[in-house]
Structure 1
Amino acid sequence: MELKTITEQLKQEITKLKNRFETNEKPEDRRDREFFNFVKEETTPIHSLVQEWEKQASLFVKNKQVSVHPQQVASTSDNLQILLLNSYYIDTPRKRYMEMYHSIHYVLDQLLSDIEKSDVN
């Protein structure tokens, strides 16, 4: 899958995660094995997508003159993993969650802009 497609897909996924965060309640028991298995099953494909995105995005920003830096890619990958879990366990204050959400969106949008610019050249 190409970087642009993965980035667009991640944007869609984090929007779904934000909606989940805003509409769902905290789990009754964080140690519930059934809930853990549910979260693992739901998040595994997204974890894989984030890993692939980080690998491709890192290569892209290293080899081009772009506005996104390698450290931003690494930080965004970490934030995506955190946001993913916080969307299910809902133990982060809303303000912190939204700051992370907007930060991720900003980097993804910047990267998409850089990809489009590099496709034109």
Structure 2
Amino acid sequence: MNNVHQLTKRLKKILNELCVRYHNSDPPENKRDPQYFSYVKEVTAPIFSLLDEWEQACLLAIENRSINVFPAQIQSTKENMELIIMHSYYIDIRKKRYMSYIQSIEFVFNQIMDH
């Protein structure tokens, strides 16, 4: 359970950093630039790994009834977080939609942290 809280806390911090990046950065000049793609892939790989680890820890905690969320919420949050990661670098989504993803992710993160 403590592991789930630690992972969630780390992801919340990353989510805030991604949000700042989205609001303060300009979109890349060429979204098909292989160098930029390599850069994004290298920078985001640890986040994706952390997200996979978080998902597994949460699903185990759900099985043990340590947290009170549904497996579908974990899966959906992981998918939304993956979208946020990419949209934070490519900045190719409207602000309202971006913030909707953020709110959805934060809702589940807060549910986990409250238990």
Which band: TM-score by shorter chain?
over 0.9
Residues 89-98 or 58-67, more deviating: 58-67
2:48 alignment partner in structure 1:
47
Amino acid paired to 2:18: L
Q: CA deviation at 1:39?
A: 0.4
2:7 alignment partner in structure 1:
6
1:78 alignment partner in structure 2:
79
TM-score normalised per structure 1: 0.90
Q: How many residues align?
A: 114
TM-score normalised per structure 2: 0.94
Q: Give the Cα separation in 2 of the matches to 1:58 and 1:103.
A: 18
CA deviations 1:82-111 (Å, max 9, x no partner) are 110000011111000001001101100100
Identify unmatched segments of 5+ residues in structure 1. Answer: 115-121
Residues 4-13 or 55-64, more deviating: 55-64
Aligned alpha-carbon RMSD (Å): 1.3
CA deviations 1:4-40 (Å, max 9, x no partner) are 1110000000000000000001110011111101101
Identical positions, percent:
37
2:62 alignment partner in structure 1:
61
Identify unmatched segments of 5+ residues in structure 2. Answer: none
